[in-house]
Amino acid sequence: MMTTKLLLLPGDGIGLETMAEVVKLVAVMNEATNAGFETETALVGGSAYDDCGKPVSDATMDLAMQADAILFGAVGGSKWDGVAYDLRPEAGLLRLRKDMELFANLRPAICYPALAGSSSLKREVIEGLDILIVRELTGGVYFGEPKEIIDLGNGQKRAIDTQVYETYEIERIARAAFDLARTRRGKVTSMEKRNVMKSGLYWNEVVTRIHRDEHADLELEHMLADSGGMQLVRAPKQFDVIVTDNLFGDMLSDIAAMLTGSLGMLPSASLGAVDAKTGKRHALYEPVHGSAPDIAGQGIANPLAMIASLAMCLRYSFAMIAEADALEAAVAEVLGSGIRTGDIMSDGCRKIGTAEMGDAVRDSFRKKLAA
């Protein structure tokens, strides 16, 4: 039996608690399907900084490069607010994304039927929501140079961040979005700020060309990113796949996340290019939520986004479609049974903690695998 290497990077805060629930599910797959998963756990973020003075060590980076996929929890917390900028916990995640060339960030926003009432929007606006935001992840303003704060010498300073995109970066994220749309409803909405930003103007030009030359049978629309944020709140079901740059993708995906009722419900995938020789790609899967240090260690965190990230891992890294479908169905079934963690609690439901929610999903998942 071939083995598959999963690197677990729980990180900080609730990342440790939610990752523990994923470990249960990996064990179920190994028992029920002989999946052959081998896991190794390493430090990242604040915990890594406390251990070795870096947010991710070179040894952990070596493990990441060798892994078939990475499951990532969350990093950060007020404990590390005074750490130098380039050593902050989040820099560990940025290094993983950059060094592994994880250029495509996939963030689904799905409204489970049982949670339609948890959204701040009306049920008829949100029920049945299923959109996918494809965010460019290794370029743009987060990585552009120069990036600095300059002392002007007169009591004033100038802070500089640079928005930079090259042709190939836009081409590959556009292709990823069109390829994904082809497996869904066939519509891509590209969002930028071409009215005020040269990078947005060029983004629009390149996406238009890729559509015309390679995917003309699919639907493409262009929308200014600020208008897109408004439309996500007004009528989110008009969208299928949204493709956008690093900065706007960060903001728009959080808006989309809250449409569903809780950041604790949403997973994400960060994918590299497929290696032409091996057919494999680097991939990292993580929940959209943060480390939530205010509730860490209390056993009350919602593990479902971390669990859904495992489902994305099964789907995109290992083509285990039946298992991914079964895991997502298990989450829906558990929610339909009326149990909730505190962040998604509603009238008439029973409130439970992290481990009990994980156990419920595990038990449902096991039954579905055996069916």
Q: Which of 24, 49, 68, 142 is catalytic?
A: 142
Q: Output the CA–CA distances (angstroms, integers) from residue 41 to 65, 75, 118, 202, 305, in the order listed.
A: 14, 15, 34, 42, 19
Does residue 254 carry a catalytic annotation? Answer: yes
Does residue 193 carry a catalytic annotation? Answer: yes
Q: Do you know the residue count of the chain?
A: 371
**Is 254 buried (19+), middle (13-18) or exposed (0-12) by CB count in 10 A?**
middle
Q: Which of 250, 316, 343, 368 is catalytic?
A: 250
Does residue 250 carry a catalytic annotation? Answer: yes
Question: Residue 17's closest CA among 364, 334, 342, 358?
Answer: 358
Contact 144, 164 (CB under 8 A): yes
Does residue 142 carry a catalytic annotation? Answer: yes
Q: Which of 130, 254, 325, 363 is catalytic?
A: 254
Tokens of 123: 């049920």
Residues 6+ positions from 319 with CB-CB distance below 8 Å: none
Question: Residue 284's closest CA among 68, 109, 17?
Answer: 68
**What residues form DSSP beta bridges with 189?**
221, 242
Tokens of 84: 């130098």
Q: Could you give the CA distance from residue 249 to residue 251 in angstroms, rounded to a whole number?
A: 5
Q: Which of 24, 54, 68, 193 is catalytic?
A: 193
Contact 53, 20 (CB under 8 A): no
Contact 319, 274 (CB under 8 A): no
Cis peptide before 146 (omega within 30 of 0): yes
The 3-state DSSP class for residue 32 equals helix
Q: Which of 99, 179, 226, 363 is catalytic?
A: 226
Beta strands in 154-203 (DSSP E): 157-160, 187-192
Q: Output the CA–CA distances (angstroms, integers) from residue 293 to 17, 168, 285, 356, in the order listed.
A: 12, 39, 21, 20
Residue recorded with tokens 């009306």: 122
Largest CA distance in the chain: 73
Q: Cα 112–260–354 angle (5° rounding)?
A: 75
According to DSSP, residue 351 is labeled E
Task: Tell how strand 104-110 and strand 69-74 pair up.
Answer: unpaired
Active site residues: 142, 193, 226, 250, 254
